[in-house]
Amino acid sequence: MTALRLEDTAPDFEQHSSQGTLRLYDYLGDSWGVLFSHPADFTPVCTTELGYTAIVSGEFAKRNVKVLALSVDDVDAHNGWINDINDTQNTTVNYPIIADADRKVATLYDMIHPNADNTATVRSVFVIDPQKKIRLILTYPASTGRNFDEILRVIDSLQLTDEYSVATPVNWKHSEDVIIVPSLQDEAELKVKFPKGYTVVRPYLRITPQPDL
């Protein structure tokens, strides 16, 4: 199996989950998606990640993003663990966790890296756009919790690129200036697309205020 790469179509699948049998494409519908894996249920780092994801679920919803976790344990284990997450992280997990006990999805998405662990998944993240294209792939080691604010930041950047033909510079944060993509050269089009104007620092580096504000 070839590993998935950016702009590949996210493979569809059907699998058990904490909210019943789930088919990826039906679950996502026309939304963006974040599919993220964890080494196992009842592990400390994962507990904090899943709790935080529930706490910021409004931020994902605002961006039209559906969240989907995965762990290679069964539905009963997931349900017991969700109670723990809710209790310890003061939240309510309101998104499904795939119960990938047979590792069907983990194998499809290359989430098991045998030199790290033969059976457990690493911390993978896939951001999937409404056309079902993979737009971001992250791989973290089991011992390092991911930064879910960074995942939201990348989704903001991707959505701005799709809507306004802009890219985002180093360490960009919401509301800061952005970069006009170099492929956009037509003066008339630039005037229409960027009514607030833009600064030409170099012909290839043109800065404009974040267009959707």
Which residues participate in catalysis according to the annotation? 46
Query: What is the radius of gyration, based on Cα positions, of the chain?
Result: 19
136 binds ligand BEZ per the rule CB under 6 A? no
Asked if 139 interacts with ligand BEZ (CB under 6 A), we say no
Q: Report the residue from 8, 25, 45, 86 that binds ligand BEZ according to the rule CB under 6 A.
A: 45
Q: Which stretch binds ligand BEZ (CB under 6 A): 44-52, 81-89, 95-103, 147-155?
A: 44-52
Three-state secondary structure call for residue 161: helix
Dihedral, 162, 163, 166, 172 alpha carbons, nearest 10: -90
List the one residue from 34, 46, 134, 155 that touches ligand BEZ (CB under 6 A): 46
What residues contact residue 206 under an 8 Å CB cut-off, 6+ apart? 179, 180, 198, 199, 200
- Asked whether 31 and 64 are in contact (CB, 8 A), the reply is yes
Taking the complex as a whole, how short is the minimal distance between the CB of residue 67 and ligand BEZ, in angstroms? Answer: 18
Nearer to ligand BEZ, 24 or 142 (CB): 142
* Polymer length in residues for the chain: 213
Q: Which token pair is 127?
A: 């951001």
Find the part of the chain contacting ligand BEZ (CB under 6 A) among 22-30, 38-46, 107-115, 160-168. Answer: 38-46
Burial class from Cβ neighbours inside 10 Å (0-12, 13-18, 19+) for residue 192 reads exposed
Q: Which is nearer to ligand BEZ, 39 or 135 (CB)?
A: 39
Asked if residue 86 binds ligand BEZ (CB under 6 A), the reply is no
Q: Which residues of the chain form contacts with ligand BEZ (CB under 6 A)?
A: 39, 43-46, 142-143
